[in-house]
Amino acid sequence: MTRKTTSRKKSSRSDFNWDEFRPGWASEGIEKISAELEKWNDELQTRSKKFRSESQKRIEKGVQQVQDELRKVPGVKRAEELRHELGERVERNLEEGADRVYTSLKLARLDEVKRLERKIAQLNKKLRTLEKQQAA
């Protein structure tokens, strides 16, 4: 029986309409409060966006300052020099290794092919001018 009574109470609660019970002045007050809350919410969002962007700028500036200061530290300077030297060595070793592979396979590298193409184009141009002179 307790289930039936609770279900009756629930149905009677859902039948009640607060809008009919609430006086007009209360509805107007609630609307004003809702409008004011919406304004505050908009202002909060605007301030939040502004705060985020300013914070991001401050953080980026701080990071840049820290990076600049770190670059002045002798150990970091030396590490950057070593990284640069290592990069150059790796690139040079790769070039030399590629040259050895191309040489062992008896293939021309792309830059050599382009250089030869330019020379062929120059020779063709000279040949055409010679042919024109002989025809005349």
Q: What angle do CA 71, 74, 76 make, to 5 degrees?
A: 50
Name the residue ranges covered by the structural domains of the chain. Answer: 1-70, 73-105, 109-136
List of residues 6+ apart from 22 with CB closer than 8 A: 30
Structure tokens at 119: 């020379």
Distance (Å) of CA 52 to CA 9, 45, 46, 57, 99? 50, 10, 10, 9, 53
Structure tokens at 45: 């969002």
User: In the prediction, which pLDDT does 9 show?
Assistant: 47
pLDDT in tens, 97-107: 988 888 888 88
User: In the prediction, which pLDDT does 5 show?
Assistant: 47
Structure tokens at 89: 């060595």
SS3 19: helix
pLDDT in tens, 1-52: 444 444 444 445 566 666 666 677 777 888 889 999 999 999 999 999 999 9
Supply the pTM of this predicted model.
0.38
SS3 73: coil
CA–CA distance, 36 with 42 (Å, rounded to integer): 10
Residue 126: pLDDT band with limits 50, 70, 90: very high
Mean of all residue pLDDT scores within the chain: 84
